[in-house]
Chain A
Amino acid sequence: MIRVLALLLLLPAAAARAGEEVVAGLSQSKIAITANFDGSDLLIYGAVKREEPVPGGPPLEVIVTVEGPSTPIMVRRKSRTFGIWVNTTGVEVDRAPSFYAVATTGPLAEILSQTEDLRQKISVPQMIRSVGAPQEIADSPAFTEALIRIREANGLYSLHEGTVGLEEATLFRTDIDLPANLVEGDYRTRIFLLRNKAVIAQHETLIDVRKVGLERWLYDLAYGQPMIYGILALVVAALAGWTASAAFRFLRNG
């Protein structure tokens, strides 16, 4: 009885909230950055699980996001000083993901309401948090915009509208292109189901992106044991120099 009342009183989206769930998979749950790593294609696929027939009303939409580890970022702006371009002002952005891709079934503005975006932090600008801009900088939003612009140009932030394929309001899949300049860490993948611009179900998984092999070893050594790494760099250089001169002397004489 209560269920029937709810169906009658509330929006269709709210009613569907109880009935639809995401079941999802990834083509890979681990990405290894090897010496010849030049990017990777991540396939994210899944299905909508429901006990009842597909509800009517507004169509089902899907948004998939992949988010790299967040770090604070310094954004600096140049201005002309004594004829040359010098970094003069800087704003620290408290948290910005090193990578962020959004894929959707349709134009973001048409399938997601602003309040829902604020709540779930889905669109690129929502992912960046900047609170501590210095007082003397009036246009601090320009700095966050610049951060997004630069990362978009490097392929690190992207919005792909209409790249999620949805079959019969049940099966969906999308490819996310991971660039070669990935930073290692846990990449959070979120899948949102939406109806009537509101999120009705979501699913989250982590992808482990790690340097492996020689890359891992060098990176760990450089940051963990910088003195040993420094000595190693010297030994390698000295050996290479000595080997080269010895080898060519041998070639010349022999």
Chain B
Amino acid sequence: MQIYLPIAEVSVNAFLLFGLGGLVGMLSGLFGVGGGFLITPLLFFIGIPPTVAVATGANQVVASSVSGVLAHIKRRTVDFRMGAVLLAGGLLGSALGIWGFNLLSRLGQIDLVVQLSYVIFLGLIGLLMLQESLRALRRARRGPAAPIKRHQHLWVHKLPLKMKFRTSGLYISVAPPILVGVLVGVLAAIMGVGGGFIMVPAMIYLLGMPTKVVIGTSLFQIIFVTGFTTFMHAWTNQSVDLMLAMLLIVGGVVGAQIGTRIGAKLRAEQLRILLALLVLAVCLKLGIDLLVQPNELYSISGVGRA
């Protein structure tokens, strides 16, 4: 069944989109990743204009994060105060990102910047994930490793403007969380991702937050940052396609629940290697597209519209 997308102005197979949403949702349920970093490049591959893919991807992340955060709020694993500080940075970053996005659209370089960002970040995450899962696999064979030391005194603890974060049990400066927020906000605007893959490690290793509140807090922040990003894209460059978003969201939420069920039964380490390889494959495809001389050197776009 073909479906005509009103904003993208292309006709695509509805089941393909539903399946895409479902597949990415399943991966996010299995591995606890947002999936935005996979859905947007997959949309490029099926011919959705990159600007629409990014803005609609952000919209899809809102839905999957709302779905995820509710469980965390119930379990009291959301540090709202830390979330708010991260959010302040995130909104600033998102506004900056939207401004840059619209500027680059006018210059005709947005597709390139989006693709380049994806190559860099997918490459990075893919390699990190692969390394992490290989290590986990080895550790699983060898037996439990030594526990990680808590309450280390990192350089971030010496900065001014300190604030107490009771849920996380931290008393640190607000500067590092705000900076992390800004970075994630820029990524959300330019890449249409939630940025969990940057924020989660940053919260654990840079801010020293306890692991149990990290996911909930990052989801909480992601809802608002991607929400703000979606709104700004819809407002300033009309690139959110609700029809496309709906199909992805419905596929995504169903997939996520299935993924969570499967994840409970399967051993995640081997699967995680597959995910890492998948991420690297997408990265490679995008990278090759940039390096190899394209069949068509010319491209067309409307004037005044991205």
Interface residues of A (CB under 8 A from B): 33-39, 71-80, 83-87, 90, 92, 142-143, 146-147, 149-151, 153, 180-181, 183, 211, 214-216, 218-219, 222-223, 226-227, 229-234, 236-238, 240-245, 248
Contact = CB atoms under 8 A, between A and B. Distances in A.
16 contacts: A35-B4, A36-B2, A36-B4, A37-B2, A73-B300, A74-B303, A75-B299, A80-B293, A150-B298, A231-B231, A233-B245, A234-B59, A238-B62, A240-B253, A241-B253, A245-B66
Given A86-B109, A222-B234, A223-B238, A77 B297 contact: yes
A215 B4 CA distance: 8
A242 B70 contact: yes
Given A35-B3, A85-B297, A227-B234, 8 more contacts: A38-B11, A77-B297, A78-B299, A218-B243, A219-B6, A234-B231, A237-B62, A238-B63
B51 interface: no
A85 B6 contact: no
A72 B305 CA distance: 11
Contacts of B60: 237
A186 B236 CA distance: 27
A183 B230 contact: no
A47 B63 CA distance: 57
A234 B56 CA distance: 11
Contacts, number: 194
Q: Which secondary structure dominates chain A's binding surface?
A: helix
B218 interface: no
B56 to A, nearest CB: 9
A237 B63 contact: yes
Given A35-B243, A36-B2, A233-B245, A87 B109 contact: yes
A237 B59 contact: yes
Contacts of B223: 238
B246 A236 contact: yes
B1 to A, nearest CB: 6
B238 A244 contact: no
A87 B108 contact: yes
B291 A226 contact: no
Given A78-B299, A150-B299, A226-B234, A240 B4 contact: no
Nearest to B1: A36
Contact of A147 (B59, B243, B294, B300): B300
B298 A77 contact: yes
Contacts of B303: 71-74, 92
B46 interface: no
A90 B243 CA distance: 32
Contacts of A232: 242
Task: Specify which of B11, B66, B246, B298 lies most central, judged by the most chain A CB atoms within 10 Å of its CB.
Answer: B298
